[in-house]
Structure 1
Amino acid sequence: MLIRSRVPLRISFGGGGTDVSPYCEEYGGVVMNATIDRYATVSLFPFSDKTIEIESIDYDAALKYDVDQFLAYDGHLDLIKGVVNYMRKTYDVHHGFKLRIHNDAPPGSGLGSSSAVCVAVVGAFRHWLNLPMTPYEVAELAYYIERKELGIKGGKQDQYAAAFGGFNFIEFNSTKTIVNPLRLRNDVVCELNHRLVLAYVGGSHDSSKILGSQIKNMASGNEETLTSLHKAKEHAIAMKAALLTDNLDDFGLLLGEAWESKKHFTAGITTPKIDVIYEKAKSAGALGGKISGAGGGGFMFFFTKPDKRYAVTKALQEEGIQIVNYSFTEIGLHTWEVRCP
């Protein structure tokens, strides 16, 4: 018997950056995001012997350890090692196993892929060890391992989006996180899916570096950064209202406003290439758009006028940009068992 664990990746519409410490503790953060049918998938194979194997399909990498050996952090698959070390220490795991990991998007894509992997691995262990963990507890543990144990800079939205799935308005403060699922009409979701063009602009970003700079700006009291983060929070709140009241054009315009605010968080969020791409999409009929994630590269999305999807798509393709077909999904972390022959 093997265990399969799958979580969706996410598009971050608004508020990203306000979920990063110390902003969320001092002012309270909010994000508006949605998950799509791109996934991080983990397969866990229990062994009868005393070895641990970790295999990454995407990196073409395979590691092997003794079951009682501490998995040292050396920049190779450290997220997976962090979960393994935590689970073995906390739940006294002495069984051998193999983990095989695959992700539909690379790190630095802006779709929360790294945190999604962490959540998927936690989910696989939860199933295998029969742990009574809620989606909140899964997300919080993944956050702890990634941000505290490993010291990787970033916020909280990715872990919660992966664990819960769907359209969510998520609130963060110093004591708790609250996930508010949005019950949107199916017509709204379908129209949003049609008019929102997802595009891979190339060049992965170093989210840890960009967010580290943002955190430094916050700590030093940089007024431009703080004002922009306040605006980002306002935009996320307004986006939620626009979707719940079926005002999709307002939602598209808010994406553009959110992008203008985001560019002032810190240096490196946009590039000359990204600015050109954005203006091309706007000229072709996009109401607004932004980077999904910390910035610098990866995926962008553009919300088009009702009859301009194909014009925007064509304009982006003429710039050598890859258009990615997708659908929204409501299912978050999901695990199941597969009987091997």
Structure 2
Amino acid sequence: MIITRTPFRMSFFGGGTDYPAWYAEHGGAVLATSINKYCYITCRYLPPFFEHKHRIVHSLIENVQRIDEIKHPAVRAILGWAGCERGLEIHHDGDLPARSGLGSSSSFTVGMVHALATMEGRYASKEALAKDAIHIEQHVIGENVGSQDQVSAAYGGFNRIDFHRNGSFSTAPVILRPERLADFQNHLMLFFTGFSRIASEVAKSQIENFSKRENQLKRMREMVEEAILTLQDERLPITEIGKLMHEGWLCKRSLSDKVSTEAIDFLYEEALRAGASGGKIMGAGGGGFLLLVVKPELQAQVRERLSHLIHVPFQFEDSGSKVVLYQPNGLS
């Protein structure tokens, strides 16, 4: 039995420039971190005593004979891509809900690819995990997804990720004094809006508008460098990041009318009135989690103003996808 643990991610700046339709021509960059909320994949070879060959446990329980009978699109695609011939039992558990803007789909794909490689006795590098997950999501499943989620899930950590015109990527950790990093984390608040959405559908509408939104996307990429310089300049208050995030949210919202809704706009305005200096909806938009930058002394009143939402405390993490249980022969 193998268990992998893969973190969800939080993207601060540059989202949108990580889509191949954009960076293949212009290049792209994002500023993102993984957080201590995880996707767990449990995988084992299924003993040959059952009527079914594969058992997949997620929001449904699937007992099937063939891979093409599997309803879960990512599991079906990954097993087909990997050419799995032996029967498998796969369980998925997550700390946060799917379709919420924290890269849960990519964390699943990275964790699943990691588990299968480990089952076969192969070491999978972080680079290989990210590249395989990008390929599976963009070309095998054919979803409208960017390339940052897979990199953050595989590598972990607080990074600048650059996407190059030739299709490659590079990562660089953001270097801050521990006290400054802690100060940044202490200014962040995460709330679940209760709205879920299909990220690929929201992203499709953004991609279709790329040619009309070049100025916004170029500005969103510039913010990556500005945010890093702001964080590294300890003379500047963290609230400056909030102001920059607010500008980024306005740019992102202009990419498509599916990025935000009246309900989301209302929640965001309420947060600003309660003391937030800025924020954004995570992921492609349309729902999911709301990230805010708030002075610690004002956070109680923001929680009060958004008391009907679920507040989710979190911390940055730097482990990336890892194998937390390795018992290849199924014995304890």
- The TM-score bracket by the shorter chain reads over 0.9
Q: Which residue of 2 aligns with 1:333?
A: 321
- 1:205, 1:294 within 8 Å by CA — same for their partners in 2? no
Aligned structure 1 segments of 4 or more residues deviating by more than 6 angstroms: none
- 2:81, 2:140 within 8 Å by CA — same for their partners in 1? no
Find the partner of 1:122 among 113, 134, 152.
113
Find the partner of 1:241 among 229, 232, 235.
229
- 1:21, 1:215 within 8 Å by CA — same for their partners in 2? no
Using the size of structure 2 for normalisation, the TM-score is: 0.92
Inter-partner Cα distance in structure 1 for 2:32 and 2:321:
16
Q: Which residue of 2 aligns with 1:292?
A: 282
Q: Which residues in structure 2 correspond to 1:102-181 (within 5 Å)?
A: 102-175=93-166, 176-181=168-173
Q: Which residue of 1 aligns with 2:54?
A: 52
Q: Which residue of 2 aligns with 1:84?
A: 79
Q: Which residue of 2 aligns with 1:5?
A: 4
Q: Unpaired runs of 5+ in structure 2?
A: none
Percent identity between matched residues is 29
The answer to whether 1:190 aligns with 2:182 is yes
Inter-partner Cα distance in structure 2 for 1:306 and 1:97:
47
Size of the aligned set, in residue pairs, is: 323
* Paired AA for residue 291 in structure 1: I
Residue 119 of structure 1 aligns to a residue whose secondary structure is: helix
Structure 1 range deviating more: 152-161 or 234-243: 234-243
Inter-partner Cα distance in structure 2 for 1:98 and 1:147:
25
Residue 111 of structure 1 aligns to a residue whose secondary structure is: coil
Inter-partner Cα distance in structure 1 for 2:303 and 2:319:
28
Q: Which residue of 2 aligns with 1:202?
A: 194
Inter-partner Cα distance in structure 1 for 2:300 and 2:182:
16
Q: Deviations for 1:137-163, whole angstroms, at most 9, x for unmatched residues?
A: 111111111111111111001100100
| Distance apart, 1:174 and its partner CA | 2.6
Inter-partner Cα distance in structure 2 for 1:283 and 1:43:
44
| Distance apart, 1:114 and its partner CA | 0.8
| Distance apart, 1:229 and its partner CA | 1.0
Find the partner of 2:245 among 240, 255, 258.
255
The answer to whether 1:305 aligns with 2:295 is yes
Inter-partner Cα distance in structure 1 for 2:138 and 2:89:
25
Inter-partner Cα distance in structure 1 for 2:176 and 2:224:
16
- 1:17, 1:229 within 8 Å by CA — same for their partners in 2? yes
Residue 102 of structure 1 aligns to a residue whose secondary structure is: strand
* Paired AA for residue 196 in structure 1: L
Residue 158 of structure 1 aligns to a residue whose secondary structure is: helix
- 2:113, 2:129 within 8 Å by CA — same for their partners in 1? yes
* Paired AA for residue 186 in structure 2: H
* Paired AA for residue 167 in structure 1: F
Q: Deviations for 1:118-150, whole angstroms, at most 9, x for unmatched residues?
A: 100001012111224321111111111111111
How much is the aligned-residue C-alpha RMSD, in angstroms? 1.7
Q: Which residue of 2 aligns with 1:94?
A: 85
Q: Deviations for 1:273-294, whole angstroms, at most 9, x for unmatched residues?
A: 1111111111121111001111
| Distance apart, 1:65 and its partner CA | 3.1
| Distance apart, 1:210 and its partner CA | 1.3
Inter-partner Cα distance in structure 2 for 1:230 and 1:127:
40
